[in-house]
Amino acid sequence: MSQETEELPKPRSDSPETNAIIELALAVHEGNLDRLPELKQLATRRHQEMEEAAEGFFGEVDQQGEEFFEKFRPIFEEIERAFSAYEAGLVKMLEFEEDSPPEAMDEAARILANASFGIRLYMNHYEEAYLAQGPSKFPAVNMLSNLGEHLRAGRIDIESWKDTIAKQLDIHMKAIEEIDKSEHKNDPFVPERRAAMEEVNQALRELDKLNAASPEDKFAEHLASLSRAFEDLKTAFDNHTDKQFAEGPTDAPNVNWVIHAARGVQAGTYPAHVLKGLATGVLEETQKTLHEIQLAAKSGLEEGMLSQEVARLLEAMEGMEDALSVLVAYSEDQELPREEVDDALSLLEESGNKLAEARDGVKKFNETAGQVSCVQCGASNPLGSKVCEQCQAAIPQLPGSGVYGTAGTSFQVLEGAAQDVTRDAVMTDVMKALFDKCEAFYNGEMPAEIFLSALEEAEDGIDAAEVELRKFEPPPMPPEANEEEQALAQEFIDLASDALDLLNIGLDECREGIDLMRRAATEEDVELMKEGIRFYYEGTQKMWQVRRLDKQMQAYLNNEEIPDVEPSDEAGAEPMGPSESVDLSTQA
Amino acid sequence: MIQVRRARSGDLDFICQLTLDTLDQGISELRDIPNERVRELAAENVAGYGDMMRRRRDYAFIVAHQQEDLAGFLILEFRYIEETTGEVQTLIYNMAVAPAYLGKRVDRLLVAEAARITHKRGCKYMTARITGSNERALLAALRQGFEIERYQITMACGPEGPLPMPGRPPGQRGHATSRLMRQRQRRKVASNHEPRN
């Protein structure tokens, strides 16, 4: 296989002075070493000119003040880098000797050409950014407004004014031509976009007729028309984009945008920097939201249903984060393996859909959940209600302090069983008493010694419950049961095992909660206190769950018909707490 | 003929080495910190010169040269704020002349170029700091047109309060004996040679 040397295009610059140096450098590169002294002399002079140009530029910038510099800092830093690169090219030429490899001079010429381009490019960026400052949200309007002022003041000539307008006209004329040639010209909102561009051009043509002697209000009038035209253009563009990109494989418009852009980059129809901008933006938003949800999930006292949706949300957002990270990397390096990008797109699509579902779930939950049942009449009331809407009975409140993390949440203080295990949280007298003590300590109403002593007492209750719990085992398999009976029995034996495990876990969590409360008291850490309360609460909820299952167990053991697992409405049932044991008979 | 120009990256080695070679001149005779320790600190400092040179908005590096031979340098810092008036001015961050070029007015050329750049940057004043015991540098600066604006006064402190400044050990002094000391010595020599009656 023959190797072909790829010939690079000849370096050149739009600056005549730089180009003269490049031509000399290329001559030396081609072997005309007698031109080396001339080149060095020119390069030396050019170095001084370059430094003076930089001096003059940064001097003007300095005179505008630090605030001005900070505003355009990124552009100034690029300009500084471009000057350094230009210097590097010149230095390379100055250091070239007759016995240096010729390629070094070619390299120097290319460095100089690129740097020259860079200086012009960033100077233009600066000029545009500077002129685009103003009260309008459209840079072009600000630029023409500023230039108009310069024109009237005689600081620029009419040619500069007309040149700028011609450039703007050219941009929009070309855009109109592209629409006219496109097969999508009748797509939704494209005709509106075209019409808006015509409006822009009309306003520009009116501005083109003005000169230094034209009154200021004429400038203002046509600039206002231009501004309105740009507004129409923006609206048409936004509508078109939403329509085109917001629809896609997921219900999340911003995810659809990214997927669309990534597919476009793969097909070569979309520039990579567009994908980078989109993917980076969505990734940052996702990471921020993920962090907030993680914090909320950690600190809040969650309802069972809500915690499921939060878990789904977290899963979806973590998936999106992973997928978007790959797509950002792809936007910077299109050599990334296609499979990796395709996997990321699939993950993004899946996560986007999961996110939409989880959001719907949370929304539905918020609409219907958070109900609290009245202990008197059983009616459902909105979360936070203090008085039952049905019978006007008082609904007991969890003290709304920061210690608990959820201010004003109302729970059903248990005298009977909870109405709905999936919706309502259970609060026993024992729990309430403990949490009251936590709040009292937190508010400085209870000395530390008394609080710690109360915690010890609660811990003693847990120890006692644990001792009792050790006596219980799952019921044995009936020895003479037939196959069907054995299958049913096994089901309940497993249930009993799970119940005992859950009780033990519940007790462990209560104990953990006490430990955290104790640490919180000695270290004066509110977050630890909240964590402790949460653990204790969760532990108690688990044990309460077991109590509900106990009815089924009793029925099985008494050879009675097993009821469906539903909330008991028996009144007067003893409150459940860590100091009480579960009455699981071992009778076969 | 000696000329001045803006420094290039290739001049950096010369600038760094000359900084370290002339370091002792900048150490106050009143302090007792060993020269070696000052050199260690300076070596760390000069390592940053390359980056400073690239920051055109913040610094200007100027060199004096005769043909290809470098004679001296000056580093000018921009946007140095005058502490009492708040005026923006430039500061001569560092300056040195190669020993072979002392007495050839290299410093004058460097300072003149720095003043021109200062004006181009829109600043009215250029300032510098000179060690009190470096009388030669002070006199040179005054001859060039600098004027003394401020004194920096220092004292040594001990457990009981103020202490006299320790001074440098004889082997560590960077400057020649002070003018007053030289005058005293000349008088002493002169009186030794007077014929005794």
> Which among A55, A80, A94 has the least Cβ separation from residue B120?
A55
- Beta strand spans in chain B (E): 2-6, 59-66, 69-81, 88-97, 126-127, 156-158, 161-163
Q: Tell me the H-state helices in A253-391.
A: 253-267, 272-299, 304-332, 338-368
Contact A503, A542 (CB under 8 A): yes
Which contacts (CB < 8 Å, 24+ apart) does range A340-345 have? A341/A262, A341/A266, A344/A262, A345/A259, A345/A262, A345/A263
* pLDDT tens across the length of chain A (588 residues): 344 455 678 888 888 889 999 999 999 999 999 999 999 999 999 998 998 888 888 888 887 888 888 888 888 988 999 999 999 999 999 999 989 998 999 999 999 999 998 898 888 888 888 888 888 888 889 889 999 998 999 988 899 899 989 988 998 898 899 889 888 788 888 899 899 999 999 999 999 999 999 999 999 999 999 999 999 988 888 787 766 666 678 877 788 888 888 988 888 877 788 888 888 888 888 888 887 777 666 655 445 545 667 777 888 888 999 999 999 999 888 888 999 999 999 999 998 888 877 777 766 665 555 566 666 777 777 766 777 788 877 765 543 333 333 333 333 333 333 333 343 456 777 887 888 888 888 888 888 888 899 999 888 888 888 887 777 777 788 787 788 888 878 877 777 777 777 788 888 888 889 998 998 888 888 888 888 888 888 888 777 767 666 666 666 667 676 665 444 433 333 333 333 332 323 333
Which residues in chain B come in under a pLDDT of 50?
177, 197
Alpha carbon distance B154, A350 (integer Å): 71
pLDDT (tens digit, 9 = 90+) per residue, B152-190?
889 999 998 998 888 887 777 766 545 555 555 566 666
Q: Is A285 helix (H, G, I), strand (E, B) or coil?
A: helix
Roughly how many angstroms between the first and final C-alpha of chain B, as a whole number?
55
Confidence (pLDDT) at A419: 38
CB half-sphere exposure, A401, CA atoms < 13 A: 17
Contact A408, A397 (CB under 8 A): yes
For residue A328, what are the contacts with CB-CB under 8 A and spacing of at least 6? A276, A279, A280, A283
Q: Does A47 touch chain B (CB under 8 A)?
A: yes
Residue B81 main-chain phi, psi, to 5 deg: -90, 125
Confidence (pLDDT) at A27: 93
Task: Measure the CA angle with vertex A214, ends A209 and A220; round to 5°.
Answer: 85
Residue A50 main-chain phi, psi, to 5 deg: -65, -45
Take residue A577 and report the two structure tokens written for it: 């707490």
Q: How far is B7 from chain A (nearest CA, A)?
A: 9
The verdict on a CB contact (< 8 Å) between A83 and B56 is yes
Residues of A in contact with B122 (CB under 8 A): 59-60, 62-63
Confidence (pLDDT) at A105: 92
Contact A400, A362 (CB under 8 A): no
Q: Does A68 touch chain B (CB under 8 A)?
A: no
Q: Does A96 touch chain B (CB under 8 A)?
A: no
Residue A264 main-chain phi, psi, to 5 deg: -65, -40
The verdict on a CB contact (< 8 Å) between A58 and B88 is no
Alpha carbon distance A25, A91 (integer Å): 12
Roughly how many angstroms between the first and final C-alpha of chain A, as a whole number?
87
| Bridge partners of residue A397, in order along the sequence | A410
**R_g over Cα of chain A:** 38
Alpha carbon distance A91, A106 (integer Å): 13
Q: What is the DSSP letter of B26?
A: G
Q: Does B56 touch chain A (CB under 8 A)?
A: yes
Q: Does A509 touch chain B (CB under 8 A)?
A: no
pTM score: 0.49
Confidence (pLDDT) at A424: 44
Q: What's the Cα-to-Cα distance from B112 to each of A29, A162, A379, A499, B139, rounded to whole Å?
A: 39, 44, 92, 92, 16
Closest CA to A59 of A49, A67, A69: A69
Burial A199-235 (b: 16+ CB within 10 A, else e): bbbebbebbbebeeeeeeeebeebbebbbebbbbbee
Q: Does B3 touch chain A (CB under 8 A)?
A: no
Residue with tokens 């700091």, as numbered in its chain: B129
Confidence (pLDDT) at A587: 33
Q: How far is B181 from chain A (nearest CA, A)?
A: 45
For residue A242, what are the contacts with CB-CB under 8 A and spacing of at least 6? A253
Alpha carbon distance B97, B106 (integer Å): 7
Residues of A in contact with B121 (CB under 8 A): 55, 58-59, 62
